[in-house]
Structure formats: C-alpha cells, structure tokens
C-alpha cells in the first residue's frame, strides 16, 4: 500500500511540473531505441523502421527537421533529416555554422552508418550528447532506397553481420557510388538537390570495406588531397586527418587510411584510393567540400563497426565545430584560387618521389594450398598480429591540364547536358540572337572503349583530341557557360572530353562517333579521281600511304574512304566534339 502511495505521489508531482509543457514531459519519459540497440548487436533497421524512427524524432523534438526531397529509382523520395539548436533557414549561407552532411546506405548491405547515425541524431536531439551551438548536422536517412528494400542475408559474401541487410544495386541495379557524374539514376538527381541545398563544409559517406585482413575496425578514405588541392586540400591533409586520428586514438579506436589492396599483403605498402568525380567524395570535392568515406572492416563484429562509425562522426562534429572559421576560410580560398589561373589539372598519377610511413597494425600473411582449387592462396594468420612500418603512397602529381576558357558554348540540342548543369546550380546565359563566334573546337583523334559493360555504359578511355580555332555560327538560345563561378570544377570535369569522368567518357556524345552518311565505291570513284587530279599534295600523300601500308593498298574501300574524309562530301559532325570553348 505504501509503495502504491509513493508511485501515485510521484506521478502527481511529475504531472504538476510538466502540465504546461506536455511535449517536455513526454520527452522525459519516452525512450527512442533503435533496432540495432533492441537486438543482439547484429541487427540493422529496415527501411520502414528507419523512416518511422526519424519521423518520431522530428515530431517530438523541435531541433530535428525531416523533409522529403526528390525521387529515387524506387519511386520513393530521399529523406533528409537535420539537427540544429536554432531554426534552419536553408536560404542562408550559415557562415557561422559548421554544416555536416552524412550519406548512409549508398550500399545498403554496408549498413553501419544507418544505425550509427540514428543513435547519434537521437543523442543530439535529447541532449545525451552536448551539441555545439554552431552545428547543423544533416543526414540522408537511406540513399539507396531500392537496395534497402531488397533485403537478404547472403549477398555480402565476405561480411561479418548484420544478420539481414539490403543489396548493393539500386532499384535499377546501379551501383550509386559510381553515378554522381553520369547521373543515370533519379537518386543522383535527388542528391544534387540535397547537396546544393545544404552546401556542406564536411561530407561523410559511411561504408564497409572489402579486401585484405588487418587489426583495424576503422579506416578512413579522405578525398585525395592533391586533387582537392589549394587551401582546402592542405588543411584536410595536414590538420583534419591527423586531428581525427589523434582523437580516435584517445578513445582507444585506432584508425588507418583505407587499405587499397587486394590479393596482396598491405604491409608490403599500398597507395591512396583516387576518388574521381563518379564517387560521392569526388563529386563533393568539386565544390571544395572536405569529404571522407568511413570504411569499417568487413570481418569485425557488427556492433564494433557501428559504434566505431558513431565515434568518427562525433569527433568530426567536434573538430568541425572547433575549427569552423578556419574551415570556412580554406573553402573560400579554394574557390578563389582559380580567379587568375589559366590552366586546370585534369589527370593525376602517383608521385613515387614522396610517401608517408604508417605504423600499420596487420596480421602475418601466409600462402597455403587451397583445399578447393589446389593452387596457392593468400590468407592471414590472426594469431600473429604485427606492427610494421608500411609505405603509404598518398601523394599524386599532375599528368596533364587544359586551358580554362572564359566560357563553354553548348548548343541547345545538348539538352541533357544543359539540364545537368541546371540541376547542379551552374549559371549560364542564352544567346539572344544568332551569333558568329571564334571558338576552340575539339576533334576526337583517338580513344578506346571498354569491351564489357560498366554501370550501364561502355566507357571510353585513352582519349586524345586535336584542338583548332574556328569561326562557327551559333543559334539564338544556345547557351554560354561562364567558367568563373562556384561550379567551375564541375563544368570543366564534365565538359572536357579527356577528363577522367567527362560526359564524353560516359558515352553522352557517342552519336558523333558514327558516320550518318556514306558513299558507294562505284559512284565516288570518279569524284576521287578528280580530287587527286586537282590536289597534288593530296595525291602525293595518297601515293605514299599506298607504298607503306599493304592493307591500305589492297583495299578499294579504305582508299576511297581516306579520300572521302578529305573531301567536301565528308560530314562535319563525325568525331567533332559538340561543346566549344570561347574567350570573350
């Protein structure tokens, strides 16, 4: 009876204290456990559970906002969830705030970040973690919605938990972490809306690694600092990365750079992964965002991986909050560094003249005979941990560059290119009347094409171009894109055909690689005879080629085609790249 009286008295007191603030009373008594916490440490939340969790948080806490943005290939939108102690106005630059964007579930089988971010967002909302006043912390709840809904227990062949998870391919079987430039998926278009809405200072994409075995649960894959370049690249390499490593070490959570090696022991040395713009951090670096992928180790227990991912995000919040002024400054410097530049570096290779040395925590690698194949098989002996000085090649050098024009000229017929420029906040102007311009144009001289499909394409590589200056007539409503704007790097990386992830590489302009008009040999032969008769230099070149090329000499069509391509009958569109450079 006494116990009942005490409970009733406590309930009355609680009601009295909170009768004017029922939401506060609810928050004091309500808990927000995740599926991961409710399980045995080896479960991840389903798509429905994730969305329900965030909807509940946004309903109960004024410091949590949740909104639907765009569409994905699954037919469902992206859900953007944001935390801030003050009302977020996305129309403001928020120069006094550190803006951090988290991407989760791009590969839904790599679900560590999904569960870690749910717990972190709750802890920020409830005050379980003291949140900096200058923080705006946002997450895409699950980026690959279609893959998350395609739940299974077997496709992550090498991974130690969770028990069930989503599939790597999205609703149309795209690997979305290869799609940020080519934008085949609606997911990528929705990501553009999210990214440019926030303009994050720091971007983190949460993953799980594959490949070699070693002692670390956590690895980081920062965007390549030489490619990011400028003040932002220097800060990321010399301050941000070391600070994160130090802070995690203080929590007894050692971390190492992403182990970019397969079928070899990492203690023999390895190189930094180059994140081209097809990848999330490669894309975000085009706007000088400090990008990092978290790569937890596939063989470590799921619970350790999730808690480690949460710890990384907590430390990045602390670093960002403490260094917000410096981070804003280096980003601004990186935007401004091209104001007087005339060249832009397109491609890089590993600089073998310099490297860092890691105290790498690995395992002894052994070669044994495979019981299945009977051949040598590399494996690791976990009973023999080691700490070895390991060479880490994380410096890259420029291999080629292009001149930066005042403008790119894009004919209105290239509507897909124009639409992607618009979706990426690229400023452009329309020609108000038909206009003749002196422009530089490219002709595709050589290229190779992949023989197997890669993410819905047969990409080109080893691309060489010939550049000429010509006068061309452009039509009213063709567009001109000024290069000196915040999105300059996106413009150049997509429109220069020799760039590593250019639109040309991704088959946007394959129609120029095929001739649309031809000739019949018996008809064109008379014309060819007259051309050689009138043009002595052409005749000498033709005769010389026949002498040195037996195949050419014995093939009527090859000879006539050679002449045809040097005649007025040859169509000008063939191999001529339909984007132009103009200096006003």
Q: What pLDDT does 17 receive?
A: 46
**Fold observed for domain 31-350:** Aminopeptidase (3.40.630)
The share of the chain scoring above pLDDT 90, in percent, equals 93
Domain residue ranges of the chain, discontinuous segments joined by +? 1-30, 31-350, 405-515+574-582, 521-564
Q: How confident is the model at residue 27 (pLDDT cuts 50, 70, 90)?
A: low
Distance CA 500, CA 459 (A): 10
pLDDT over 70 (residue 466): yes
CB 51 within 8 A of CB 76: no
> How many other C-beta atoms are found inside a 10 Å radius of the C-beta of residue 10?
10
Q: What pLDDT does 201 receive?
A: 98
pLDDT 10s digits, 302-332: 999 999 999 999 999 999 999 999 999 999 9
CB 393 within 8 A of CB 272: yes
Q: What pLDDT does 11 receive?
A: 40
Distance CA 151, CA 259 (A): 28
pLDDT over 80 (residue 239): yes
The DSSP element (H or E) to which 1 belongs, if any, is: none
Q: How confident is the model at residue 340 (pLDDT cuts 50, 70, 90)?
A: confident
Residue 338's φ and ψ, nearest 5 degrees, are -95, 5
Look at 23 and 362; give whichever has higher pLDDT.
362
Q: What is the mean pLDDT of residues 125-138?
A: 97
DSSP E strand boundaries for 254-395 = 255-257, 270-271, 290-296, 343-350, 356-369, 376-393
pLDDT 10s digits, 538-580: 999 999 999 999 999 999 999 999 999 999 999 999 999 999 9
Q: What pLDDT does 263 receive?
A: 87
Helix axis angle, 112-126 to 302-322, nearest 10°: 50
Among positive and negative, which fits the CA dihedral 162, 44, 293, 296? Answer: negative
pLDDT over 70 (residue 290): yes
pLDDT 10s digits, 76-118: 999 999 999 999 999 999 999 999 999 999 999 999 999 999 9
Q: What is the mean pLDDT of residues 152-179?
A: 97
The answer for residues whose C-beta is within 8 angstroms of residue 454's C-beta and 6 or more apart is 178
Which of 3-7, 195-199, 393-397, 528-532 has the weakest average pLDDT?
3-7
Q: What is the mean pLDDT of residues 414-434?
A: 98
Q: What is the mean pLDDT of residues 472-481?
A: 98
pLDDT over 50 (residue 476): yes
Distance CA 428, CA 79 (A): 30
pLDDT 10s digits, 393-423: 999 999 999 999 999 999 999 999 999 999 9
- What value does the mean pLDDT of the chain take? 95
Q: Report the 3 state secondary structure along 466-534.
A: EEEEEEEEECCCCEEEECCCCCHHHHHHHHCCCCCCCCCCCCCCHHHHCCCCCCCHHHHHHHHHHHHHH
The C-alpha angle with vertex 355 and arms to 354 and 357, in degrees rounded to 5, equals: 145
CB 370 within 8 A of CB 378: no
Q: How confident is the model at residue 198 (pLDDT cuts 50, 70, 90)?
A: very high
> How many other C-beta atoms are found inside a 10 Å radius of the C-beta of residue 42?
15
pLDDT over 60 (residue 166): yes
pLDDT over 90 (residue 2): no
């Amino acid at each position: 009876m006494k116990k009942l009286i005490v409970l009733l008295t406590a309930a009355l007191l609680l009601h009295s204290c909170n009768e004017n603030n029922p939401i506060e009373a609810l928050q004091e008594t309500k808990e927000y456990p995740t599926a991961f916490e409710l399980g045995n440490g080896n479960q991840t939340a389903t798509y429905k559970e994730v969305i329900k969790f965030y909807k509940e948080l946004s309903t109960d806490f004024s410091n949590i906002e949740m909104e639907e943005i765009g569409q994905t290939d699954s037919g469902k939108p992206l859900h953007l969830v944001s935390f801030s102690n003050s009302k977020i106005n996305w129309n403001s630059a928020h120069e006094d705030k550190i803006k951090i964007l988290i991407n989760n579930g791009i590969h839904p089988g790599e679900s560590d970040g999904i569960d870690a971010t749910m717990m972190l967002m709750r802890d920020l909302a409830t005050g379980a973690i003291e949140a900096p006043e200058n923080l705006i912390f946002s997450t895409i709840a699950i980026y690959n919605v279609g893959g998350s809904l395609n739940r299974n227990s077997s496709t992550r062949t090498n991974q130690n938990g969770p028990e069930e998870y989503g599939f790597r391919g999205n609703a149309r079987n795209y690997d979305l972490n290869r799609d940020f430039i080519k934008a085949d998926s609606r997911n990528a278009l929705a990501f553009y809306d999210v990214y440019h809405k926030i303009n994050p200072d720091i971007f983190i994409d949460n993953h799980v690694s594959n490949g070699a075995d070693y002692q670390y649960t956590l690895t980081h894959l920062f965007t390549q600092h030489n490619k990011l370049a400028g003040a932002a690249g220097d800060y990321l390499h010399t301050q941000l990365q070391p600070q994160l490593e130090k802070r995690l070490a203080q929590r007894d959570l050692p971390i190492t750079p992403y182990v970019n090696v397969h079928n070899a022991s990492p203690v023999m040395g390895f190189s930094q992964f180059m994140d081209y713009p097809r990848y999330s951090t490669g894309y975000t670096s085009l706007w000088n965002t400090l990008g990092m992928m978290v790569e937890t180790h596939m063989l470590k227990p799921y619970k350790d991986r999730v808690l480690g991912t949460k710890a990384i995000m907590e430390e990045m919040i602390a670093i960002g909050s403490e260094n917000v002024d410096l981070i804003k400054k280096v980003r601004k410097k990186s935007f401004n560094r091209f104001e007087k530049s005339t060249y832009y570096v397109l491609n890089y290779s590993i600089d073998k003249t310099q490297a860092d040395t890691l105290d790498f925590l690995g395992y002894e690698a052994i070669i044994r005979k495979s019981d299945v194949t009977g051949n040598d098989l590399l494996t690791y002996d976990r009973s023999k941990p080691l700490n070895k000085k390991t060479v880490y090649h994380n410096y890259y050098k420029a291999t080629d560059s292009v001149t930066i024009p005042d403008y790119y000229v894009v004919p209105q017929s290239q509507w897909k290119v124009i639409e992607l420029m618009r979706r990426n906040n690229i400023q452009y102007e329309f020609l108000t009347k038909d206009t003749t311009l002196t422009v530089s144009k490219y002709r595709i001289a050589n290229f190779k094409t992949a023989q197997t499909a890669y993410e819905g394409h047969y990409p080109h590589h080893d691309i060489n171009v010939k550049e000429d200056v010509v006068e061309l007539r452009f039509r009213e409503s063709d567009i001109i894109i000024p290069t000196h704007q915040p999105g300059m790097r996106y413009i150049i990386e997509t429109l220069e055909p020799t760039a590593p992830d250019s639109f040309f590489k991704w088959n946007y302009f394959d129609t120029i690689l095929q001739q649309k008009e031809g000739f019949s040999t018996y008809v064109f032969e008379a014309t060819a005879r007259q051309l050689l008769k009138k043009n002595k230099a052409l005749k000498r070149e033709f005769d010389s080629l026949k002498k040195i090329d037996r195949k050419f000499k014995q093939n009527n069509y090859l000879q006539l085609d050679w002449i045809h391509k040097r005649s007025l009958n040859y169509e000008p569109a063939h191999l001529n790249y339909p984007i132009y450079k103009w200096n006003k």
